[in-house]
Structure 1
């Protein structure tokens, strides 16, 4: 998407990546995909290095959206003849977050010039710090004070600034207002949902209605996205869980959280078993295709699925349910920017980051990308609050946001935990045994994956 004449075309690139997709899921396929991805970046570096040019090409890896296109085009126009940002695209349909993480990590291990600036999931910062430039020398205290605390919190390791927030998202409850209103008691239910409903009332309504439509969908495949609803339930009842227990999950609060997710599928049967094969993208597609009523999604839904205007005009957003003995909790998501420590264009990368943090750029990220702005100006200045009245609701959502734990081995631990949480939801292992095995595997930093049934 949006590549220069000296860059591989989108069709050429996507053709290669899609061909690699099925192979990736096999043991040998992962290595094959990595080699091709590394070769792809090496080719870029070769051609950018071995031709004479006055323009500095800055290679930027992210999932490219309409907002990216607008911003990159504008930056390239402003710096024409001097700097050109060249995008490296990770399209959502072709990559899960786990696959994207591994390909990016393998690319950076090569220590080449193929990537100068890259976007990472907010939970990857600790892992990718080893390949990244420390950013304290490039940003003043005033510049950092202008960023949102929610975004900046994820950008440090051992007190050092290693990333900059780019775009912020949050978990929400999405629902089809037209379908809900058509159900007995549906209009009243919609009011309760908007105000913030308890899980007890939410489950009760779902069990009492008679409808062929899926009631509640959440992504329950074995990947990082599964841990978002798990952590939301866990921290909603035990807000200081990770400070108290660390990564030990054979505890009563963790058992309650996992048991609830299992019950949604196995006992209450308000979530279809098909959810255990769904990542974020496929859960959205299922919600649209099967006319689902409720979906655990992200605040970016509106822009992620802009190609379904008929259904989308009925989709509404509300806080996630909470327990009577807890408080609302919604996982922060989003993407931060990191500069490769191997890049020879660090100053150019920093200049582009500062452009992306400008008010006009952040407005584009908000209006065309659906992500929350990461600059405080948007939430504090009256002119923005008048222009975007939805910022009032966003501020309320931010107050209930929770972070996944910051740890350099989080991605490894999350893979282990996701495996056993998935097994429990599928009914292959009971809750107590799942969390006991997960804790043991985390403590030994090993995972033994059973064959897929």
Structure 2
């Protein structure tokens, strides 16, 4: 019988709590809580920063679960309990407001904040900021691009309507791959469309629902048209990023909206597809509007109960440095947050789409910066799933009511 999710979380929590121990003799040990990055780039960055400290600290990694929801829940439980073992946190970009508002991470000192933000791309900078303070330094980033088959697409479509029209005209082999399952990816899809239409989920204060009728309706119209188009994959309602990747690699599709990891994956798993794989900025909602795509990535924050906060900020500064970002790009294929690295020949060899990625990141949109973001994301994905059942006129109001309720929910778990 498979383990229950809460039992699994309890076991993981106990295991990690067992890692909390008295500091040994010698340099202080700083614990960096982060997901296990498969290439070993994070371990190597920690080793190099430890060596660079010349004995001031030892940087060790404490691995979080692979599931993002379990990562957050485990950290929230430990941070709320005042755990002093958490020195550094590899923070998902959507955690910034929640952890900052709760007082679970420390704001970066102004001088160090200026130092780590110099030369960073605007989108990643915004993802680590909340209420005009930096709470997490930009480390690695990512966003979606439009991937397409150069042997099937004669003229690159600039708008969603043009892309759907062209996919339908291609017929067999003209499918569009997008994320339509009821999960975070659907919220990301909606937020990107909404921002591209000139709208937002919350107002600038982050305390009131925005969802202006015209851009909200336009975003919903695109989602419904895609879902009802013959160019939509029949599995759209259960499709996540990896299902999209696999479907594109199978050769059945002409277009895909997805993150940059699909490029090395296609080269390794479907070279015949990679040979005809192009990239472009996400489609716009209209020719006069610039697309704005939701940002992802990992930032570095310092736990509020760290025994060694000054050393933790020093270590975090090293982890987000140019050398560490170059290492993460080379070993793990993780896009950097420093703009200048996109001009580096080594980085450009890894990301031949570096220019379009950098401009997309510069114009990126943030998911709603609120401590109750998780509740809002659930409200959006539940209201809009499945996409083919969206009724734009009706669902503008339904969505507003759902987000309003989520915005005023109580509790962080």
The whole-number CA distance in structure 2 between the counterparts of 1:254 and 1:290 is 33
Equivalent residue runs for 1:8-407 within 5 Å = 20=3, 23-24=4-5, 31-45=6-20, 48-49=21-22, 52-65=24-37, 66=39, 67-78=41-52, 83-90=57-64, 94-95=66-67, 97-129=68-100, 130=102, 131-136=104-109, 139=112, 141-177=114-150, 181=151, 186=152, 188-189=154-155, 192-193=156-157, 197-211=158-172, 213=173, 215-238=175-198, 242-243=202-203, 247-249=209-211, 251-265=213-227, 267-289=228-250, 291-302=252-263, 308=269, 310=271, 313-314=274-275, 315-322=277-284, 323-378=286-341, 391-407=354-370
* Residues 177, 255 of structure 2: 8 Å contact kept: yes
The whole-number CA distance in structure 1 between the counterparts of 2:349 and 2:263 is 21
Q: 1:306 to 1:136 in 2, by over 3 A?
A: farther
Post-superposition offset of 1:44? 0.8
The whole-number CA distance in structure 2 between the counterparts of 1:386 and 1:442 is 42
* Residues 416, 441 of structure 1: 8 Å contact kept: yes
Q: 1:38 to 1:165 in 2, by over 3 A?
A: same
Q: Does 2:373 match 1:410?
A: yes
Structure with greater contact order relative to length (CA < 8 Å, sep ≥ 6): 2
User: Partner of 1:188: helix, strand, or coil?
Assistant: coil
The whole-number CA distance in structure 2 between the counterparts of 1:387 and 1:225 is 25
- Deviation larger for 78-87 or 437-446: 78-87
User: Partner of 1:36: helix, strand, or coil?
Assistant: helix
Q: 1:382 to 1:374 in 2, by over 3 A?
A: same
- Which residue, out of 392, 405, 412, partners 1:444? 405
Post-superposition offset of 1:204? 1.2
1:3 match: none
The whole-number CA distance in structure 2 between the counterparts of 1:251 and 1:106 is 38
Post-superposition offset of 1:354? 1.3
| Cα deviation code 1:125-153 (max 9, x no counterpart) | 00111211121256153443343333222
Q: 1:210 to 1:161 in 2, by over 3 A?
A: closer
* Residues 331, 401 of structure 1: 8 Å contact kept: yes
The whole-number CA distance in structure 2 between the counterparts of 1:372 and 1:262 is 32
Q: 1:53 to 1:378 in 2, by over 3 A?
A: same
1:14 match: none
What value does the CA root-mean-square deviation take over the aligned residues? Answer: 3.5
Post-superposition offset of 1:340? 0.9
- Deviation larger for 285-294 or 155-164: 285-294
Post-superposition offset of 1:384? 8.3
* Residues 237, 326 of structure 1: 8 Å contact kept: yes
* Residues 62, 119 of structure 1: 8 Å contact kept: yes
Unmatched runs of 5 consecutive residues or more in structure 1: 1-17, 25-30, 449-453
Q: 1:435 to 1:34 in 2, by over 3 A?
A: farther
* Residues 263, 269 of structure 1: 8 Å contact kept: no
* Residues 54, 82 of structure 1: 8 Å contact kept: no
Unmatched runs of 5 consecutive residues or more in structure 2: none
4+ long deviations beyond 6 Å: 380-389
Question: What TM-score results when the alignment is normalised by the length of structure 2?
Answer: 0.83
Q: 1:215 to 1:381 in 2, by over 3 A?
A: closer
User: Partner of 2:9: helix, strand, or coil?
Assistant: helix
User: Partner of 1:404: helix, strand, or coil?
Assistant: coil
Post-superposition offset of 1:329? 2.2
1:4 match: none
Q: 1:221 to 1:384 in 2, by over 3 A?
A: closer
Q: 1:80 to 1:160 in 2, by over 3 A?
A: closer
The whole-number CA distance in structure 1 between the counterparts of 2:308 and 2:388 is 48
| Cα deviation code 1:181-215 (max 9, x no counterpart) | 1xxxx2523xx25xxx222221112112231x471
The whole-number CA distance in structure 1 between the counterparts of 2:57 and 2:265 is 29
Post-superposition offset of 1:439? 1.7
Please state which structure has a larger fraction of its residues in helix.
1
* Residues 116, 137 of structure 2: 8 Å contact kept: no
